Amino acid sequence: MTSSLSIRRLSRLAYGGIWSLPLPLWLAGFFLGPMILLIWLSFWDVKNFLLTPDFQLENWKKMLSAPYFWAAYLRTFIIAISAAALVSLIALPCSLAISFFLSVRARMVVLGLFVVPFFTSYLVRVYSWQIYLTENGIVMKLLAAIGIDSGSLLNTPLALMIGLVTLTLPLVIVIQSISMLSLDKTLIDAAYNLGCGPCRVLFATVLPAVRPGIVLGALFAFIFSFGDFVTATYLGGGKFTTMSILIADTVKSGQQWPRAAVVALMMIATLLITALASIAFAYRRT
Amino acid sequence: MRVSALTRRLAVIFMGLALIFLYAPILTNFVFSLNSDRFPTVPLGGFTLEWYRLILADALVIDAFKNTIKIALVVAPIATIMGFAAAYADYRFNFIGKRLVLIFALMPPLIPLVVIGLAMLAYLSRIGLSGTLPAIVVSHIVLTSPFAMAIIRLRFSQIDGDLEFAAQNLGASNWRAFWEVIIPSTKTSILAAFLLCMAVSFDEYAVTWFVGGLEETSSVRILSFLQSAVSPRINAIGSITFITSITLILGAQILVLRRLTRGNS
């Protein structure tokens, strides 16, 4: 009796383990492992162009005292936070339209249409924007046709924002829409019954209630804009050196991986703090 | 919401403009892949298939596409099975630290790709894998399995949790109940996850570029083209990748949506 019970228990444990363990183990081996190595790597030394495991603070001192590092850090942060604000503003009317002004069927189709571009090659779409914005490109010719002499729009902050909106808009619209769709509709009716006009309903009822969705949407836009290196490289033309470009250049041009690791860890720390602060703000009680 | 017809219409028009903005770069890419002028601008030149002919005759491009397909065909099944396992474990079992494991499993897509690329490159170099196709496969599984887990977990949240136990009470073993109850009710989402993983693997360029060394996928090939010069050949490769990923994503969406509408009726 007891032995058959323990066998059943064992087989139940085995059944649980078969399903619970594979992904966590894989991620421990090939995601957590690399991340921990990244931390260690930031203390290594480079001797005669060879990486040497070590424990010294030289890389951190070097990077954190370099003006070009802080310039890149500030630039990346400003670009990402501007993109997050801009994308959230553009997404808001879209999400309102999807959640409140469309039929159930149309809503599904439109959300689907917004999701598709997110999973298509961002590289090729950036190349397309290059074609639009370059010297003698489509936008310049169209503007010239109505009498505006614009010059190349490439390598401007505007080009960067166009790229980052392209990258993050679908994600932000989906997050905002999900939170609007789960909103209790009786809340809105109650506000109308109490005599609020549409504007008051929007600003006093809807927006406060969907604050988590708006904040999380902005957070995702920030995360993706902060980490992206394609936009700044191909729409910024190397004029806007971001943290990601710093890493890519350092790794691809030589053996200074430990210094790139410092930059990478500073990025992760920034994203972590931003994420925790946003989540705290999103779910804060008013 | 009770707002004037004008407000409604304005919001919907704005939404339409946002859609046009998102699809504009995709559409122009198709147009310029068929345009005879070397420099892409308006007015358009004549119609040509020359750029497609050029890339199909380019051994580097062909090899890159072969690699891409090989990688996606290995990555998608493994990532889907692991994502499914994690989603099922989360639905079926309770264990200490489950929430933490779940959050951890959703992390990889949120870490900047260059950061993962650098970490992976350092790690895979140490175990002698960097610069090989398996290195790309290993990293892609890390990047895609969270998507598989999320999409299958969504399906589990709609399944009645007692169904499997009912089957067991009627005498079915763990595995029998699994095959008879769980698999039939999740199979469309498994297929959807599979297609999504293929699409993500197909378009990934950053981590692949870091860990792949001389091995190129089609996305990395596009990156190399971009680094050299403007050429309508990029549009031709771009069209092929767009058609592939749009087909995969639409397939996944139709599977998920059909199930949702059937669930409502």
3-state secondary structure string across B3-15: CCHHHHHHHHHHH
From the CA of A263, how many Å to the nearest CA of chain B?
A: 9
Nearest CA in chain A to B2: A198
Regarding whether A128 and A23 lie in a shared domain, the answer is: no
Percent of the residues in chain B that have a pLDDT greater than 70, as a whole number: 97
Regarding whether A153 and A21 lie in a shared domain, the answer is: no
Q: Would residue A50 count as lying in a domain?
A: no
Regarding whether A162 and A81 lie in a shared domain, the answer is: yes
Regarding whether A218 and A154 lie in a shared domain, the answer is: yes
From the CA of B132, how many Å to the nearest CA of chain A?
A: 15
Nearest CA in chain B to A243: B114
Q: Would residue A239 count as lying in a domain?
A: yes
| Residue B265 pLDDT class (50, 70, 90 cuts) | very low
Regarding whether A97 and A214 lie in a shared domain, the answer is: yes
Do the beta carbons of residue A130 and residue A163 sit within 8 Å?
no
Q: Which residues of B touch A127 (CB under 8 A)?
A: 29, 222, 226, 234-235, 238
Q: Find the radius of gyration of the CA atoms of chain A.
A: 25
The burial of A74, by beta-carbon neighbours within 10 Å (0-12 exposed, 13-18 middle, 19 or more buried), is given as: exposed
Regarding whether A233 and A182 lie in a shared domain, the answer is: yes
Categorise residue A242: left if φ over 0, alpha if ψ from -120 to 50, beta otherwise.
beta
Phi, psi of B246 (to 5 degrees): -65, -40
ipTM rounded to 2 decimals: 0.93
Regarding whether A246 and A128 lie in a shared domain, the answer is: yes
Decide: helix, strand or coil at residue A192. Answer: helix
Rounded to whole angstroms, how far apart are CA atoms A75 and A230?
A: 15
Residue among B26, B95, B111, B114 with most chain A CBs within 10 A, to mutate: B114
Going by C-alpha positions, the residue among A162, A183, A171 that lies closest to residue A111 is A171
| Residue B79 pLDDT class (50, 70, 90 cuts) | very high
Rounded to whole angstroms, how far apart are CA atoms B89 and B85?
A: 6
Range of the domain at B229: 49-264
The domain total for chain B is 1
CATH number, domain of B185, equals 1.10.3720.10
Regarding whether A33 and A77 lie in a shared domain, the answer is: no
Do the beta carbons of residue B25 and residue A129 sit within 8 Å?
yes
Q: Would residue B78 count as lying in a domain?
A: yes
pLDDT higher than threshold 70 for residue B1: no
The beta-carbon neighbor of A227 closest among B83, B115, B126 is B115
Across the interface, whether the CB atoms of A234 and B226 are under 8 A apart is answered yes
Length of chain A: 286
Decide: helix, strand or coil at residue A47. Answer: strand
Q: Would residue A46 count as lying in a domain?
A: no
pLDDT higher than threshold 90 for residue B107: yes
From the CA of A285, how many Å to the nearest CA of chain B?
A: 23
Regarding whether A89 and A194 lie in a shared domain, the answer is: yes
Q: Would residue B126 count as lying in a domain?
A: yes
Q: Would residue B10 count as lying in a domain?
A: no
Query: Which residues have CB under 8 Å from A76's CB, separation 6+?
Result: A226, A242, A243, A244
Rounded to whole angstroms, how far apart are CA atoms B250 and B257?
A: 10
What distance lies between CA A139 and its chain's CA centroid? 28
Query: Which residues have CB under 8 Å from A220's CB, separation 6+?
Result: A168, A171, A172, A175
From the CA of B84, how many Å to the nearest CA of chain A?
A: 8
CATH number, domain of A108, equals 1.10.3720.10
What's the pLDDT score for residue B49?
94
The domain total for chain A is 2
Those residues of chain A that have pLDDT short of 50 are 1
Q: Would residue B140 count as lying in a domain?
A: yes
Q: Would residue A70 count as lying in a domain?
A: yes
Regarding whether A273 and A170 lie in a shared domain, the answer is: yes
| Residue B78 pLDDT class (50, 70, 90 cuts) | very high
The beta-carbon neighbor of A227 closest among B11, B32, B112 is B112
Rounded to whole angstroms, how far apart are CA atoms B210 and A232?
A: 18
Range of the domain at A82: 58-282
Regarding whether A62 and A34 lie in a shared domain, the answer is: no
Rounded to whole angstroms, how far apart are CA atoms B35 and B41?
A: 10
Across the interface, whether the CB atoms of B126 and A223 are under 8 A apart is answered no
Categorise residue A202: left if φ over 0, alpha if ψ from -120 to 50, beta otherwise.
alpha
Chain B residues 57-86 with a CB less than 8 Å from chain A = 81-83, 85-86
Do the beta carbons of residue A52 and residue B108 sit within 8 Å?
no
Q: Which residues of B touch A108 (CB under 8 A)?
A: 257, 260-261
Do the beta carbons of residue A86 and residue A251 sit within 8 Å?
no
Exposure string (b/e) for B102-117, b if CB count within 10 Å is 16 or more?
Answer: bebbeebbebbbbbbb
Q: Would residue A196 count as lying in a domain?
A: yes
Helix (H) or strand (E) holding A67: helix A67-100
What's the pLDDT score for residue B262?
63
Strand partners, A51: A46
Across the interface, whether the CB atoms of A112 and B105 are under 8 A apart is answered no
Regarding whether A140 and A11 lie in a shared domain, the answer is: no
Residue pLDDT, tens place only, B10-49 = 999 999 999 999 999 999 999 999 999 888 888 888 999 9
What's the pLDDT score for residue A255?
80
Q: Would residue A238 count as lying in a domain?
A: yes
